[in-house]
Amino acid sequence: MGRICGICEQATSNEDWCDNCLEQAKRMRTEIQKRKVAKQEKQNSGFKKGDHVVMHTCMEAEEHDGTVWTCSSDEYKLHKNHDYNVVMLEGFSGAFQTQYLQKVHFSYPQEVTK
Ligand SMILES: [Zn+2]
């Protein structure tokens, strides 16, 4: 008597699952992993053209304290060998490191107490 797959109950010579089910489980894991990565990338995608941002915790932030900038590009990696992203800002010369930027949302609490 051969063994039986723990999932599809087909005869198999494998320890627990048949080749088919092993293959399927592998594909499923790969798919889940892919979705995780995609989700993370979405969360990290951060700054988009047209976003409003303020600078913080850098020299430029002191100089432009409280200034709201508009992104004139999407966030991008400055250099493939460098581990930080930059974005272009309207009226600012050169790219700016996104780690020193905070997104600004022009939304207000629904009820303002008097
Ligand atoms: Zn099976």
Domain layout of the chain by residue ranges: 3-43, 46-104
Residues 66, 86: Cα–Cα separation, whole Å: 19
C-alpha 14 to ligand 1 mean position (Å): 10
Q: Tokens for 67?
A: 């200034």
| 22-79: pLDDT as tens digits | 999 999 999 999 998 887 776 655 899 999 999 999 999 999 999 999 999 999 988 8
C-alpha 31 to ligand 1 mean position (Å): 19
Are the C-beta atoms of residues 71 and 49 closer than 8 Å to each other? yes
In Å, the largest CA–CA distance within the chain is: 82
C-alpha 33 to ligand 1 mean position (Å): 22
- For 51, half-sphere exposure in the C-beta direction (CA atoms, 13 angstrom radius) is 18
pLDDT of residue 71: 97
| 4-17: pLDDT as tens digits | 999 999 999 998 99
